[in-house]
């Protein structure tokens, strides 16, 4: 909590203390506290007022849980708490009011988390583990509230090019190596592999969100997302393949909005058909990682997708990542590929069969399982480049390199065989 320090108190702070109004909640809380290795006597009966009274005469704990249920004006009482709490104390509020505005106001007044009653052991455990990580992490100086958020959409030119491999790897790198709170949203609703790559069950969170977009708020995402590590939460589905996707896309936009508030990075695994159906998904995205292979079909679709992005998401910084690159064994060489898409390939990730197998075997993302490989190293570079992108970036990367038709003509003329010529319907979209 960003509170002024209290003079005269120093030394041994307790790891934890709680001030909870009702016995039912205390009964749920105590066993979890014992499990965490803390003293159950630190779970006091009483609410926010009692917390303020006690802490005005004793050192505040590292993690403090306070019940707002009996407080008529929680925000005001929180300010009173801030005056008696030592800096660094991580405060978890609990209450019975399910109101996003209150939740946001509490967060902006320095509260770390808000748990809704009735409490459940799992919910308390998650919140405490998270609070411990926050307490242990290096403290930001005051004024860190205006954090910027980077939202990255990873789009494959075609299925199988490695978009999900990249998306899960980037999410893992941001969260585990850069220690930045990250959300991974897997919008391959029926066949997504985000959870699978992290060795997790997808849960029902995303399906619930699609079915009930009006329920999406900070508390909803807190509960619905599956935690992959201290800094990574994922929302994905393995929707039954007997049912078509019934959504107007509003749930996805709302989720993106909530992620902006709750995380510093969002990674969206965005199948290209979702982009056709829900173009507004790209409206707040800062970075687009367009993943491609060095094939004819991928070149065609890279051209079409780049053109789409130029028209519909010109604010986003676009990186073209060639994946599964095998020197000497590509359908289309690098120079020709770049000429046809009229821009440079930003990163080339080598084809590495062993690395892919290793990732599957370990149940870890490609980047985590293959730290020492060239492919893993390049994905790390992509991660750094995304982290370096910021909200205001201009989209120079999308600017046409030269006047357009030429590149497309080159592309046509380089096709070796009749078959290939016939098979290349070069899209001559109006730019």
Ligand X SMILES: Nc1ncnc2c1ncn2[C@@H]1O[C@H](COP(=O)(O)OP(=O)(O)O)[C@@H](O)[C@H]1O
State the residues that interact with ligand X by CB under 6 A: 156, 159-165, 193, 323-324, 349, 351-353, 356, 375
Among 109, 157, 164, 307, binds Mg ion (CB under 5 A): 164
User: Nearest approach, Cβ of 323 to Mg ion (angstroms)?
Assistant: 12
Pick between residue 192 and residue 383 the one whose CB is nearest to Mg ion: 192
- Residue 286 binds which entry of Mg ion, ligand X, none, CB below 5-8 Å type-dependent: none
- Helix ranges (H only) for 185-270 are 194-197, 205-211, 218-224, 250-262
Q: Which helix (H) or strand (E) covers residue 266, if one does?
A: strand 265-269
User: Nearest approach, Cβ of 196 to ligand X (angstroms)?
Assistant: 9
Residue nearest to Mg ion (CB): 164
Pick between residue 68 and residue 163 the one whose CB is nearest to ligand X: 163
Q: Which helix (H) or strand (E) covers residue 55, if one does?
A: helix 48-57
Phi, psi of 204 (to 5 degrees): -105, 0
d(CA 19, CA 338): 63
Pick between residue 376 and residue 407 the one whose CB is nearest to ligand X: 376
User: Nearest approach, Cβ of 349 to ligand X (angstroms)?
Assistant: 5
User: Nearest approach, Cβ of 325 to ligand X (angstroms)?
Assistant: 8
User: Nearest approach, Cβ of 295 to Mg ion (angstroms)?
Assistant: 17
Structure tokens at 341: 């898409």
Residues 348, 354, 355: CA angle, nearest 5 degrees: 55
User: Nearest approach, Cβ of 193 to Mg ion (angstroms)?
Assistant: 6
Pick between residue 1 and residue 171 the one whose CB is nearest to ligand X: 171
365 is a site residue for Mg ion (CB under 5 A): no
The verdict on whether omega for the bond into residue 118 sits within 30 degrees of 0, i.e. cis, is yes
Pick between residue 135 and residue 191 the one whose CB is nearest to ligand X: 191
- Residue 353 binds which entry of Mg ion, ligand X, none, CB below 5-8 Å type-dependent: ligand X
- Taking the CA of residue 19 as centre, how many other CA atoms within 13 Å lie in the half-sphere pointing to its CB? 22
DSSP structure string for 229-244 = ETTEEEE-----TTS-
Are 19 and 47 within 8 A, CB to CB? yes
Going by their DSSP bridges, the two strands 90-95 and 150-156 should be labelled as unpaired
d(CA 317, CA 322): 16
- Residue 182 binds which entry of ligand X, Mg ion, none, CB below 5-8 Å type-dependent: none
Q: With CB under 5 A as the contact rule, which of the stretches 123-131, 164-172, 286-294, 353-361 interacts with Mg ion?
A: 164-172
Pick between residue 25 and residue 373 the one whose CB is nearest to ligand X: 373
Pick between residue 159 and residue 388 the one whose CB is nearest to ligand X: 159
Pick between residue 209 and residue 270 the one whose CB is nearest to ligand X: 270
Going by their DSSP bridges, the two strands 43-45 and 16-20 should be labelled as parallel
C-alpha dist (Å) from residue 2 to 58, 90, 91, 288: 18, 9, 10, 35
User: Nearest approach, Cβ of 289 to Mg ion (angstroms)?
Assistant: 13
DSSP structure string for 363-402 = TS-HHHHTTTSHHHHHHHHHHHHHHH--TT---GGGS-SS
User: Any idea which residue has 């509020």 for tokens?
Assistant: 93
User: Nearest approach, Cβ of 164 to ligand X (angstroms)?
Assistant: 3
- Residue 162 binds which entry of Mg ion, ligand X, none, CB below 5-8 Å type-dependent: ligand X
Interacting residues toward Mg ion by CB under 5 A:
164
């Amino acid at each position: 909590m960003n509170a002024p320090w209290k003079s005269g108190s120093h030394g041994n702070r307790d790891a934890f203390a709680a001030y909870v109004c009702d016995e039912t909640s205390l009964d749920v809380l105590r066993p979890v506290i014992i499990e965490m290795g803390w003293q159950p006597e630190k779970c006091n009966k009483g609410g926010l007022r009692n917390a303020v009274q006690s802490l005005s005469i004793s050192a505040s704990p590292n993690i403090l849980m306070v019940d707002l249920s009996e407080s008529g004006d929680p925000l005001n009482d929180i300010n009173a708490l801030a005056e008696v709490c030592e800096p660094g104390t991580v405060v978890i509020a609990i209450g019975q009011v399910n109101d996003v505005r209150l939740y946001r106001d509490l967060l902006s007044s320095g509260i770390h988390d808000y748990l809704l009653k009735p409490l459940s052991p799992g919910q308390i455990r998650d919140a405490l583990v998270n609070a411990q990580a926050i307490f242990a992490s290096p403290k930001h100086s005051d004024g860190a509230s205006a954090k910027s958020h980077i939202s990255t959409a990873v789009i494959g030119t075609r299925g199988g090019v490695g978009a999900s491999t990249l998306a899960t790897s980037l999410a893992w790198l941001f969260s585990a190596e850069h220690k930045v709170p990250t959300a991974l949203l897997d919008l391959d609703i029926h066949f997504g592999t985000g959870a699978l790559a992290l060795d997790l069950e997808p849960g029902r969170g995303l399906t619930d969100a699609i079915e009930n977009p009006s329920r999406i708020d900070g508390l909803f995402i807190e509960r619905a997302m599956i935690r992959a590590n201290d800094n990574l939460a994922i929302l994905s589905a393995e929707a039954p393949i007997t049912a078509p996707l019934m959504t107007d896309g509003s749930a996805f936009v709302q989720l993106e909005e909530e992620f902006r508030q709750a995380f510093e990075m969002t990674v969206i695994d965005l199948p290209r058909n979702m982009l056709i159906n829900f173009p507004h998904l790209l409206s707040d995205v800062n970075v687009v990682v367009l993943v491609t292979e060095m094939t004819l079909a991928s070149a065609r679709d890279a051209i079409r997708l780049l053109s789409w992005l130029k028209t519909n998401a010109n604010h986003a910084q676009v990186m073209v990542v060639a994946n599964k690159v095998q020197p000497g064994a590509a359908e289309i060489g690098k120079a020709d590929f770049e000429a046809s898409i009229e821009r440079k390939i930003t990163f080339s990730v080598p084809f590495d069969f062993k690395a892919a197998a290793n990732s599957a075997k370990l149940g870890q993302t490609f980047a985590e399982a293959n730290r020492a490989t060239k492919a893993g190293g390049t994905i790390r570079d992509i991660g750094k480049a995304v982290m370096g992108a910021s909200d205001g970036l201009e989209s120079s990367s999308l600017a046409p390199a030269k006047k357009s038709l030429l590149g497309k003509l080159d592309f046509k003329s380089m096709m070796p065989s009749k078959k290939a010529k016939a098979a290349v319907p070069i899209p001559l979209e109006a730019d």
